[in-house]
Structure 1
Amino acid sequence: MKNHRWMKGVALGALGAVIGASTSYAQQLDVITVTAQKREQAITDVPIALTVVEGQTLDDFEINTLDDLQLSIPNFQVTQTGIGTQMYIRGIGTGNDPAFEQSVAQFIDGVSYGRARLIRAPFFDLERVEVLRGPQSVLFGKNTTGGALSLVTAGPTDEFEAGVSSTYLFDYEELTADAYVSGPITETLGGRVAIRYADSGGFVTNSNLGRDEPQREQFAIRGVLAFEPTANFDATLKVEHNTFDNTGREIEVVRDEATVGPTYAQALNAVGLTGGMTNTQFDFVRDGNSLEYSDNTVFNTTLTTNTDFDLGTLTTVTGYVTYDRNEFADLDFTNYYILTGLVEEEYEQFSQEVRFASREDQRLSWIVGGYFQDNTLTNGDVTGFGPAITNLGYAPIANVGLERAYEQEATAYAVFGEFNLDITERLRLIAGLRWTYEEKEASRQITATTAPDAFGAPLTTNPVAIAIVQGGLGVALNNPGAAGHDLNQSREEDRFTPAITLEFDASDNVMLFASYKEGFKGGGFDVRGNSTAFFEFDEETVTSYEAGLRADLWDGRAQFNATAYLAKYENLQISQFDGTIGFNVGNAGETEVSGIDMDGRIALTDSLSLAAGLSYLDFEYTDFRRGNCAFGQTPDGDVVNGVQLCDYTGRRGRFTPEWTGFARLDYVRPVSDRIDFVSTLNAGYTGEHNIHDNLDEAAVQDAYTLVDLRVGFESDRWDVALIGRNLLDEEILTFAANVPFASSVGANTWYAVPLRPQTFGIQGSVRF
């Protein structure tokens, strides 16, 4: 890594300026306005555990994906895995399966983005991100058992504005460039166009291919038109096209432990695959011989209208989202062609929400509405067995491909209402109810073909190959003479999800609240499974209790929020690697999550402000006897499809650190009439937690603290700054799972996904 001692000196100097800041009288905090309850409210008036990250913060620290957002949000984790992306709040999230809708649902401008692939999409030109913890089952919908992320994009401005900005990170040759133009077009029409281009050179070295990975490239363009012909009506149309392509991946083998025989690296050498695995420690160096890629395109358009009447406001939100994904991945993590994955996925979604919100200046106010969504998912993948699998004793399946073809159509309808009653001047009751009906139909077929890296190849007729795939690898096939794997099923379900909240103003500046909520996420059908026995999985439900306070303190110069919670989940939807080439999808029986979230802001002086948060989490599987066993673990759970699994009851889940927290210091001081010195110091703490797909007890990521710093100068028209990310150069793994076939030689071998190490860069922007 390059020597950045001179930049560290700048960083330490800026930190000294922060610590030695002026002690002049502090100003009041700016009011943060959110729409967490589908109305514009001050954040301290919302009885929800809520964190807001504003657009300027996102830009300052080059936060372009949800992965980058973790630093500023306690109890929130996002990780890449071998085949997908996972997002967790309070330890609740959704595993690896393209058919899963997300327990932590993502909404952009009010439109649901419920698929894991959409979590990976970079974002830009945002007004703010609202992170809502716990189930949000009335106003946001059924798929929010763990929480909701609401991303609000920037809209047209009242006056002409334009700007360009760029960030360059030295270590990874990462360039991000943005531009926007915004303002009135006519007296009744405003517009905004924003463009993003980003290119990155990667931070993990593929020693076999001689390149850094993942190399990433993104291009996005968004246009927004805001039409307001009268004082009683407005309409906003947004259209966006986004492409993000990756070459290579940041996955490396970090453990290769022998138990009853050789290590996996030694075993590969012994069977003639010399140098198949050369690096088995965490050092940002990986093996791999496949030319991996992931090409993604997302298109969305949203039309939002508001019509004011004497009684209230009618709002409509019409959304259309589509994406396609083409991906090729090395799944054996060696320097030979043993196992690969080829994926083609397409998704199309249309949604329509209509809601009417009464005026708030009355004793009883309310919101009622209806929701419709229709979506189609098509997923095809080929698991390819390369020629080198012959050396592992599987010669009959060399150059064979397992082709899955999955299609799903789903439709959902909902009606909802929430009522806010002022019982007294200080006591309020908020009661809501949502009814959801959903139907799904899905089909899945798996066949063995004569090509390991192509779709539509002829079927194999080799009976030995078919026997090995079905008997040795546990994959049911639809080839002639095989067991048959051609499924087509449908399901329908409906559910009421109530929510009740009591608010009490203990004083003019302190609000107490307590709430009871229920939520559910619909069941569905497994894309990635190999067996025909468990194609369908059940719905996920939650019952949640929360209590807390919201306080404005010190004459508006400080705020403090605290929320204690207890949530009980049934049939939590999970997906776990089976140790060979597949994933098992199912439901955890019962899970209990409890803890407390605290955060606050304070204006220490006119120049210095502090924001901080701290969260405690207690997570326990209270009845889960169908977990996939970790390597070497003695099965002690239920017998499923003739195989005894492991009992996870009493254990913590993945990504469930006991303590998480963050702190942010902002310092602004004039150096002339037109120029300010600015600095921001961010620190995020995450306690130790398990990161393994099958909860291997050895896979514990130690506690770590991520520290970022931005130091620079700004005026009304320009700014320039130096940034440092992960200043302590913490070495962090975010996910781990076992390498396919390693267990066959008695080796406990893991691949893992690292977080990017320390980096420094420079930023600049100009506004017109």
Structure 2
Amino acid sequence: MRFVNPKKALVAAVAAAVSGPQLAAAETFVLEELVVTAQKREQNLQDVPVSVNVVGGEAISEGGIGNLEEMSALVPNLSINQSPQNLSIYVRGLGSGDNQGFEQSVGLFIDGVYAGRSKQFQAPFMDVASVEVLRGPQGTLFGKNTIAGAMTVNTAKPTDDVEMLLKTSYEPRYNSYDVEGVISGPITDTLKGRLAVSQSETGGYLKNTNAAIDDDEPEEQNAVVRGTLVWDASDDLEVIAKYEWGHSESTGRGYRMDGVGVWGTALQAADPNWDPNDESERTTNTEEEADTNSDSFTLTMNYALGEYELTSITGYSEFNYDEVVDGDSTSLDALRMPQSQEFDQWSQELRLTSPLGGDIDFIAGLYFQTSDFNLHRRIDTRLAEYAFVDAQLVFVPEAGAYSDYEQESETYAAFGSVTWHATEQLHLTGGLRYTIEEKDAKRNMVFTGYDTYSALADVYDPAAPAGPFPANEYGRAVGGMQLLGVYEHDVEGDRRAENVSPSLKVQYDLSDDVMLYASISKAFKSGGYNAIGNQGDDPGEYGLSPNQFDFDEEEALAFELGGKTVLMDGAAQLNFALFRTEYTDLQVSNFQGDTFIVGNAAEAISQGLEVDGTMRLSETLFLNASFAYLDAHYSKYEDASCTAGQLAATAIGQVCSQDLTDKDLANAPEWSGNIGLDQEFILSDNLLLRTHVDVAYTGEQYLSSDLDDNSKEDSHITANARVALSDADGSWEVALVGKNLTDEEIRTWSNDPLLLTGAHFSYYAPPRTVAVQFNLKY
């Protein structure tokens, strides 16, 4: 077997695309049509005037992609990061910050149901048909508006014939495995069913050296069951019902201290086994645990009204989440933070779709969504050290605080899109969305004893004599909590947003093989509330300045110019998109210690170029390549939150802010791209050998929204590969799957720990893994 250099292959593909006339006589191999539902109809990808990337379910399964984070390397200008509080999705440098009060700016849709919170669905990539990533605002075709983009996941549906699948994999380096079973087929003449079950366990790749824990972290166990029924109730009515249950448990987290500042001696005294220079070690004295239970139900009905189709999508989802976090991120016995979340959501979408073929076609819809979110969290502290309170040296006794956050949300929307086929080549599309969003929220915080819900006044006597210190234990405990920036408070608010967002798109078919389009659209995302603030806005509820409880709506004006082309008589496709999006009042969230400060940046711009292509080099050799250039920056942001270093340098009693005007957005590398090769070899009449290799490049980027230099992640290249042996009809397959084969050390999120000024901690992606897969299919 001859090794194919990916860079040379890409050059060859570009050269071939430019020299079409010289290849007229050469043998060509036509690419299969790729069908997408980006515009709520089944269409050839090359006919869709949207910047969209598609990843098939087979590629997800074969690549061992089990979570959203691993999608980042497959789609340029897509970044999905795990952080202390959430899973954040960024497209073209725009996404939601890390705060439970934020909804995602990039919408995640599972079988048409909006999932604004990552814990709503435990295994979005189990038994998947396809994943489509749409870049830019998407408001006139989706029930829930999305201001930065949309990721739509289509799960596999029941089959007409009986089908059984068993997929297993084992990764020995970290003792990880997963097992997935599927059975699908007809139940009666009009009813089909599909049942998918998965169980997985992921071993830890960071050694927690604290003697009380002494284990590899993070470790995670997941179990998911999904059942789908399709009932052909009549010639005109199709009913699809889907239920999914998920359970996840994890111990430890994927972060470690990567900068100790002046705290090295203290940290090593707390854990003598820990080596701050060992990249495979972490240290915490709290066993960090998380437990999630989720349920979801989706009912989809498609009813034919003559040539029109009426679609109803009813969705319900809920989850309960409990976790314990080491708040100081080290083995210092200083801070412990348990929390729990409860969430439920109902949504209803009605959509009418006209037939194609006439001069005018349209899609019109109505949408309603209601959700309730509750967050209960504690802050328990044992400073166990001398600290300054009121400019005097005092001992701070252990204490705690309890916060309760409640939010109710309702969304009403009408949306639609009309296309006029002016000529056979010229198509004009106008869209309009009208949205009303209402939110009510309240948050309080009260001081308690350590690890108890008893009021602090019941633990320490406020009237006790002062003793040798300037205040009694109650006063010193209150002073210690306020030293951490935690104040008793009670805040509440309600808000109502009303918005009209139009769009206009022009599509022109230069030929059967070349389509150009241009679009302009406005988009909107409603404001909300800070779920995890530690201070209020009334006197006595904050330190230097009031903390903002709510944040305002953000708006976007987007421009895009793109093209879809078919080359070499159908053997190649090349697509591109030039874009510019101007954001006003961009919602931002900055991590400071154990909490997040939310607000709005005045103005931001995201602009650039995306190019992707596919080429069939032979009957069995395929090349896929894509790259993106991105310029995403704040065009005006004069009062941004400070870095930890800037805060430390600020005089006591002064409010710190920094000017980030013309500075880059976080999670927005200037260059990104990937290239992949797929080859199939026929070894005999009954044996096939299939190989896949992909290489991804991600440019330098900031991982923290305050643009702290400590959070600047260097550019890196990662490589994945797969080699599979199977029989000709695919009834069995054995494969080796390698991820991050270059063993790159990749940070995905980074910031400063509470209390330890000058130190730094970061979340890390898993190192190199090589797994063996075994699949059976009937």
Tell me the TM-score normalized by structure 2. Answer: 0.90
Q: Which residue of 2 aligns with 1:423?
A: 422
Q: Which residue of 2 aligns with 1:89?
A: 91
CA distance in 1, matches of 2:80, 2:243: 27
**2:496 is the counterpart of 1:500:** no
Residue from 220, 224, 240 that aligns with 1:220: 224
Structure 1 residue 96 displacement after superposition: 1.5
One-letter amino acid of the structure 1 residue matched with residue 575 of structure 2 = N
Alignment of 1:455-604 (within 5 A): 462=462, 463-465=474-476, 467-469=478-480, 471-477=482-488, 485-533=489-537, 534-578=548-592, 580-604=593-617
CA distance in 2, matches of 1:760, 1:310: 53
Q: Which residue of 2 aligns with 1:660?
A: 672
- Is this contact kept in 2: 1:608–1:665, CA < 8 A? yes
Structure 1 residue 418 displacement after superposition: 0.5
- Is this contact kept in 2: 1:544–1:565, CA < 8 A? yes
Q: Identity of aligned pairs, percent?
A: 33
CA distance in 2, matches of 1:751, 1:571: 29
Residue from 754, 757, 763 that aligns with 2:773: 763
Residue from 380, 384, 396 that aligns with 2:380: 384
Deviations 1:697-742 (A, max 9, x none): 2432111111001001122211111111111111111111001111
CA distance in 1, matches of 2:124, 2:185: 25
Gap change, CA 1:341 and 1:274, over 3 Å in 2: closer
3-state SS in 1 of match to 2:536: coil
Residue from 616, 633, 636 that aligns with 2:646: 633
CA distance in 1, matches of 2:762, 2:145: 29
3-state SS in 2 of match to 1:632: helix
Structure 1 residue 310 displacement after superposition: 1.9
- Is this contact kept in 2: 1:573–1:585, CA < 8 A? yes
Gap change, CA 1:326 and 1:221, over 3 Å in 2: same
Gap change, CA 1:683 and 1:455, over 3 Å in 2: farther
Identify the range of structure 1 (133-142 vs 360-369) with the bigger mean alpha-carbon deviation. Answer: 133-142
Residue from 750, 753, 761 that aligns with 2:760: 750
Structure 1 residue 451 displacement after superposition: 2.6
Q: Which residue of 2 aligns with 1:54?
A: 56
Deviations 1:530-589 (A, max 9, x none): 2223111101111100001011121211111100000001111111122x4322111111
Q: Which residue of 1 aligns with 2:348?
A: 352
- Is this contact kept in 1: 2:291–2:321, CA < 8 A? yes
Residue from 149, 152, 169 that aligns with 1:150: 152
One-letter amino acid of the structure 2 residue matched with residue 724 of structure 1 = G
Please, which runs of 5 or more residues in structure 1 have no aligned partner?
A: 1-11, 258-262, 478-484
One-letter amino acid of the structure 1 residue matched with residue 82 of structure 2 = Q
Structure 1 residue 81 displacement after superposition: 1.6
Gap change, CA 1:142 and 1:586, over 3 Å in 2: farther
CA distance in 2, matches of 1:456, 1:672: 74
**2:309 is the counterpart of 1:313:** yes
Identify the range of structure 1 (274-283 vs 363-372) with the bigger mean alpha-carbon deviation. Answer: 274-283
3-state SS in 2 of match to 1:165: strand
One-letter amino acid of the structure 2 residue matched with residue 410 of structure 1 = S
Gap change, CA 1:96 and 1:760, over 3 Å in 2: same
RMSD over aligned CA atoms reads 2.5
Deviations 1:368-425 (A, max 9, x none): 1100000000000111103x54366787654312211000111110011100100111
- Is this contact kept in 2: 1:576–1:584, CA < 8 A? yes
Gap change, CA 1:274 and 1:101, over 3 Å in 2: closer
3-state SS in 1 of match to 2:663: coil
Gap change, CA 1:151 and 1:277, over 3 Å in 2: same
Structure 1 residue 256 displacement after superposition: 2.0
Residue from 146, 156, 180 that aligns with 2:182: 180
CA distance in 2, matches of 1:277, 1:167: 34
- Is this contact kept in 2: 1:346–1:379, CA < 8 A? yes
One-letter amino acid of the structure 1 residue matched with residue 281 of structure 2 = V
3-state SS in 2 of match to 1:742: coil
3-state SS in 1 of match to 2:580: strand
Deviations 1:98-141 (A, max 9, x none): 11100011000000001244487553100011001111011125
Gap change, CA 1:368 and 1:600, over 3 Å in 2: same
Q: Which residue of 2 aligns with 1:7?
A: none
Deviations 1:64-110 (A, max 9, x none): 10111112111111112223222211111111211110001100000
- Is this contact kept in 2: 1:693–1:737, CA < 8 A? no
Tell me the TM-score normalized by structure 1. Answer: 0.91
Q: Which residue of 1 aligns with 2:106?
A: 104
**2:333 is the counterpart of 1:333:** no
3-state SS in 2 of match to 1:68: helix
Gap change, CA 1:678 and 1:455, over 3 Å in 2: farther
- Is this contact kept in 2: 1:101–1:143, CA < 8 A? no
CA distance in 1, matches of 2:306, 2:179: 46
CA distance in 2, matches of 1:562, 1:268: 51
Identify the range of structure 1 (699-708 vs 612-621) with the bigger mean alpha-carbon deviation. Answer: 699-708
Deviations 1:595-648 (A, max 9, x none): 0111011110001001110000001101112222113338999x9x97231111
Identify the range of structure 1 (313-322 vs 723-732) with the bigger mean alpha-carbon deviation. Answer: 723-732
CA distance in 1, matches of 2:377, 2:139: 33
- Is this contact kept in 1: 2:143–2:365, CA < 8 A? no
Identify the range of structure 1 (684-693 vs 319-328) with the bigger mean alpha-carbon deviation. Answer: 684-693
CA distance in 1, matches of 2:327, 2:512: 59
Aligned residue-pair number: 732
Deviations 1:650-686 (A, max 9, x none): 1001111100001111101211122211001111110
Gap change, CA 1:76 and 1:466, over 3 Å in 2: same
Q: Which residue of 1 aligns with 2:754?
A: 740
- Is this contact kept in 2: 1:104–1:143, CA < 8 A? no
Q: Which residue of 2 aligns with 1:265?
A: 264
- Is this contact kept in 1: 2:672–2:696, CA < 8 A? yes
- Is this contact kept in 2: 1:515–1:547, CA < 8 A? yes
CA distance in 1, matches of 2:85, 2:112: 28
CA distance in 2, matches of 1:467, 1:634: 22
CA distance in 2, matches of 1:730, 1:622: 33
CA distance in 2, matches of 1:496, 1:282: 54
Deviations 1:176-209 (A, max 9, x none): 1000000111110000000010011111111112
CA distance in 2, matches of 1:646, 1:19: 46
Q: Which residue of 2 aligns with 1:408?
A: 407
Alignment of 1:436-455 (within 5 A): 436-452=435-451, 454=452
Gap change, CA 1:170 and 1:642, over 3 Å in 2: same
**2:645 is the counterpart of 1:646:** no
Structure 1 residue 473 displacement after superposition: 2.9
- Is this contact kept in 2: 1:142–1:522, CA < 8 A? no
**2:244 is the counterpart of 1:230:** no
Q: Which residue of 2 aligns with 1:612?
A: 625
Identify the range of structure 1 (206-215 vs 235-244) with the bigger mean alpha-carbon deviation. Answer: 206-215
CA distance in 2, matches of 1:174, 1:729: 17
CA distance in 1, matches of 2:774, 2:414: 48
Q: Which residue of 1 aligns with 2:17?
A: none
**2:703 is the counterpart of 1:691:** yes
- Is this contact kept in 2: 1:636–1:647, CA < 8 A? no
Gap change, CA 1:19 and 1:617, over 3 Å in 2: closer
3-state SS in 1 of match to 2:664: coil
Structure 1 residue 336 displacement after superposition: 2.9
CA distance in 2, matches of 1:391, 1:667: 65
Gap change, CA 1:607 and 1:83, over 3 Å in 2: same
**2:287 is the counterpart of 1:291:** yes
